[in-house]
């Protein structure tokens, strides 16, 4: 099973999840530093210090990337390092990312920076955070500072990673930083994040005209327990609207869906719009990143295991019933086949845009054996099945141009702390020892082959 020529193979990480060094070289607190310090906010009381100590071990990690044959490295730049207090630019923060980009290029690895992966400077949150329109303009200032240093060496930029999580988990359910439970603030945050994308994309095109720019969304196919049940169908519509169309439609179609505007009218979405917001947001992206981990199977009848999910503004009566599918250590259904349908939906119902799978991965309970090896056959099967689903979409005409596994390293997994391991490389967080897992060797061969060898039993 061979992928198209020039298909991009890579891995992804995020600054707060791997860097550590949270008080080094002028970095100031982010909302995740503040949130992690709250008792009970993060599993086991973990924080982003030291994470995987990547800030100090960057050169070692780039060597690891090169040894695995990684072609492209998707990482994020920490806003609190670059503009720590939402005012003066910190040259030392930019120095680190300049060293990283140069080291990657010297190793023959293409850098794919993401400009915002959830680590808002705490100084901006103190002024209202993403619930305030001004934050979008401060994002544009930050983007200009980064482009001024790196714009001559980076050809592909991502403005935002998963704005749904930033808005609805951060300001709606409070499960993520900044930990607010204010539905109207969550809706405002969603709009202002999209505005920030548009403003940031304009800065990039103004300062690096040859560069490509896009954003990354976490998209979920939504299916209902009973298609003949009007309540189930309504819950499915609402959740698809909030999770997918709320972000896809303004970027790719130039407007919010009418039904979503109606759903969110009590929370003020329509009142947030100014005359040119949608024009700013909808400047056609050069690419769309898709993060796919699972699908959503929903019902209008909550059960004891799922409960009403408070982060779904306007869909409080949703349930997430079990289907008997295999599950990851994050308790997420594994349903790779739904990825094909998601990609086809984008291809068939939205304007053409090159697609990249910018995150796909799974946590399993990996252990280092007595001989020093980490066997993770479940992860290999997970990747292989999702690559088959992606390839099936390509065969049906989808313009999918790349795949990035999440993640290179075991890391700080947000509210789960260090309890969930997604990496191709095992990290002993006490010693920072890196141990490539069996999946690392397997994925290295996939990249070298530009596809899957169907007879390879390691894929099952």
- Concatenating the DSSP letter of every residue in 262-325 gives HHTGGGTHHHH--TTHHHHHTSPPSEEEEE-S--EEEBSS--TTT---TTSTT-TT-B----S-
Whether the pLDDT of residue 315 is over 50: the answer is yes
Contact between 11 and 52 (Cβ < 8 Å) = no
Q: Is 359 a catalytic residue?
A: yes
Active site residue 162: yes
| Greatest extent of the chain over all pairs of C-alpha atoms, in Å | 64
Confirm if 375 and 330 have CB atoms less than 8 A apart. no
Token pair recorded at residue 208: 């690096």
Q: What is the pLDDT of residue 319?
A: 74
Q: Which residue did the predictor score with more confidence, 55 or 323? A: 55
Per DSSP (E only), the strands in 93-248 are 110-116, 156-161, 212-218, 222-224
Closest CA to 139 of 158, 115, 123, 167: 115
How high is the pLDDT of residue 457? 45
- DSSP-assigned letter for residue 4: P
What pLDDT, on the 0 to 100 scale, is given for residue 81? Answer: 98
Q: What is the DSSP letter of 387?
A: H
In b/e form, how buried is each residue of 287-324, taking b as 16+ CB within 10 angstroms?
A: bbbbbbbbbbbbbbebeeeeeebebbbbbebbbbeeee
| Tens digit of each residue's pLDDT (9 = 90 or more) over 281-306 | 999 999 999 999 999 999 988 654 44
pLDDT at residue 325 tops 90: yes
- Please tell me whether residue 161 adopts helix, strand or coil conformation: strand
Task: Domain count for the chain, please give it.
Answer: 1
Predicted confidence (pLDDT) at residue 455 exceeds the cutoff of 70: no
Length of the chain (residues): 460
Say yes or no to pLDDT of 310 above 70.
no
Half-sphere exposure for 407 (CA within 13 Å, toward CB) = 22
Please give the Cα distance from 222 to 305 (Å, whole number): 19
Burial level of 416, CB count in 10 A (0-12/13-18/19+)? middle
What are the CA-CA distances from residue 360 to residues 133, 218, 404 (Å)? 31, 10, 7
Task: Return the structure tokens found at 299.
Answer: 């019902």
| Strand 433-436 relative to strand 425-428, pairing | antiparallel
- Give the structural domain span for 190: 8-452
Where would I find the beta strands (DSSP E) of 8-87? 8-12, 72-76
Closest CA relative to residue 264, chosen from 289, 247, 287: 247
Cis omega (within 30 of 0) for bond into 218: no
Residue 460 in any domain: the answer is no
CATH number for the domain harbouring residue 38: 3.20.20.80
Q: Yes or no: say if 201 and 285 are a contact pair by the CB < 8 Å rule.
A: yes
Task: Give phi and psi for 246, each to the nearest 5.
Answer: -60, -30
Instruction: Please state, for a pLDDT cut of 70, what percent of the chain lies above it.
Output: 95
Cα 207 to chain center, whole Å?
25
Instruction: Please report the pLDDT score of residue 322 as a whole number.
Output: 81
Catalytic residue among 19, 338, 359, 413: 359
| Catalytic-role residue among 125, 162, 311, 338 | 162
Q: What number of helices (H) and strands (E) belong to the chain?
A: 18, 12
Q: Find out whether 289 and 158 touch, Cβ atoms under 8 Å.
A: yes
Q: What pLDDT band is residue 460 in, cutting at 50, 70 and 90?
A: very low
Q: How far apart are CA 161 and CA 37, in angstroms?
A: 23
Q: What percent of the chain has pLDDT over 90?
A: 92
Specify the pLDDT at position 323: 87
Cα distance between the two ends of the chain? 15
Residue-wise pLDDT for 395-424, tens only, equals 999 999 999 999 999 999 999 999 999 999
Query: What phi and psi values does residue 432 have, to the nearest 5 degrees?
Result: 65, 20
Predicted local confidence at residue 311, as pLDDT: 53
Q: Which one, of 44, 51, 62, lies nearest residue 27 by Cα? A: 51
Name residues whose C-beta falls within 8 Å of residue 369's C-beta, 6 or more positions apart in sequence: 375
Tell me: pLDDT of 459 over 60. Answer: no
What SS3 state is found at 172? coil
Tens of pLDDT, residue by residue over 241-259, are 999 999 999 999 999 999 9
Strand partners, 278: none
Tell whether the model's pLDDT for residue 17 goes beyond 70: yes
In a domain, 382, yes or no: yes
In three-state secondary structure terms, 435 is strand
As a whole number, the mean pLDDT across the chain is 94
- What are the helix (H) ranges across 351-408? 377-395
- Kindly indicate the confidence band of residue 116, based on its pLDDT and cuts at 50, 70 and 90: very high
CA 162, 295, 186 angle in degrees (round to 5)? 35
Residue at 1 is within a domain: no
Contact 404, 358 (CB under 8 A): yes
Q: How far is CA 55 from the centre of its chain?
A: 20
Whether residue 458 lies inside any domain: the answer is: no
């Amino acid at each position: 099973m061979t992928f198209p020529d020039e298909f991009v193979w890579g891995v992804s990480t995020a600054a707060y999840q791997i860097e550590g060094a949270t008080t080094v070289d002028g970095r100031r607190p982010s909302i995740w530093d503040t949130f992690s310090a709250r008792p009970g906010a993060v599993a086991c009381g973990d924080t982003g210090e030291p994470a995987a100590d990547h800030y100090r071990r960057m050169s070692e990690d780039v060597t690891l990337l090169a040894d695995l044959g990684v072609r492209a490295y998707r990482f994020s730049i920490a806003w609190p390092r670059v503009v720590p207090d939402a005012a003066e630019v910190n040259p030392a923060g930019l120095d680190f990312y300049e060293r990283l980009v140069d080291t990657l290029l010297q190793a023959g690895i293409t850098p794919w920076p993401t400009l915002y992966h959830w680590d808002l400077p705490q100084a901006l949150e103190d002024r209202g955070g993403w619930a305030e329109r001004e934050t979008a303009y401060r994002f544009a200032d930050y983007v200009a500072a980064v482009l001024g240093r790196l714009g001559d060496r980076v050809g592909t930029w991502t403005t935002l990673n998963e704005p749904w999580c930033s808005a609805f988990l951060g300001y709606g359910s409070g499960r993520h930083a900044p930990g607010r439970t204010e539905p109207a603030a969550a809706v405002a945050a969603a709009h202002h994040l999209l505005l920030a994308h548009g403003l940031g994309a304009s800065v990039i095109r103004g300062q690096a005209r040859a560069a490509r720019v896009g954003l990354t969304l976490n998209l979920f196919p939504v299916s209902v327990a009973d298609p003949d049940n009007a309540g189930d169908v309504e819950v499915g519509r609402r959740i698809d609207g909030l999770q997918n169309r709320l972000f896809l439609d303004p970027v790719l179609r130039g407007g919010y869906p009418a039904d979503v505007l109606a759903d969110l009218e009590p929370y003020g979405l329509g009142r947030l719009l100014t005359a040119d917001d949608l024009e700013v947001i909808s400047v056609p992206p050069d690419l769309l990143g898709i993060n796919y981990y699972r699908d959503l199977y929903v019902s209008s009848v909550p059960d004891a295991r799922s409960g009403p999910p408070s982060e779904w503004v306007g869909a409080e009566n949703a349930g997430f019933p079990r289907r008997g599918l295999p599950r990851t250590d994050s308790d997420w259904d594994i349903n790779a086949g739904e990825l094909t349908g998601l990609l086809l939906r984008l291809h068939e119902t939205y304007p053409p845009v090159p697609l990249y799978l910018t995150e796909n991965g799974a946590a399993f309970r990996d252990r280092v054996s007595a001989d020093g090896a980490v066997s993770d056959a479940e992860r290999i099967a997970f990747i292989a099945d999702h690559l088959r689903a992606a390839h099936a979409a390509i065969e049906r005409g989808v313009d999918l141009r790349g795949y990035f596994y999440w993640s290179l390293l075991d890391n700080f997994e947000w509210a789960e702390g260090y309890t969930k391991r997604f990496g191709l490389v095992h990290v002993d967080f006490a010693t920072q020892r890196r141990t490539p897992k069996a999946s690392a060797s397997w994925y290295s061969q996939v990249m070298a082959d530009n596809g899957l060898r169907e007879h390879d039993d390691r894929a099952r």
